Amino acid sequence: MPRFGLISIGVFLIICGVVISFWLAGILAKAEVLPIVIVLLGVWVFVIAAVKAIKPVAYERGAFQTACFGAIAVIVGLLLELRVKGIGSTAVWAIGLILIGALFVIIAAREWIKK
């Protein structure tokens, strides 16, 4: 198991428990649970990327790629949250797809330049 596997499972369970508790307390709507979980997991991936930047390990995904995947999770979660709030027009989704596509291009360009 990768070095962040077990702790990530624990963080996922904590995030789910807290968000579901907020839903049961009436702070969040039922439709907001999944987007908030996705955003918070994206933030956790940013934390993992920061740790990887400080202490890189051979044969693991780099900190930059990890941070980009965290950004993708945050973008998708925010787009879903906007959709739940009724702001999810086609233009918002198009902008989200452009941002995600740009992140993939940046990841690929960095790997291509390294070779």
Question: What pTM value is reported for the model?
Answer: 0.80
Helix axes 63-85, 90-114, angle to 10 degrees: 180
CA 114 to chain centre: 25
Counted residue by residue, the chain has a size of 115
Residues 6+ apart with CB under 8 A from 19: 28, 33, 36, 37, 40
Residue 111: is its pLDDT beyond 80?
no
Greater confidence (40 vs 51) lies with 40
CB 64 within 8 A of CB 99: no
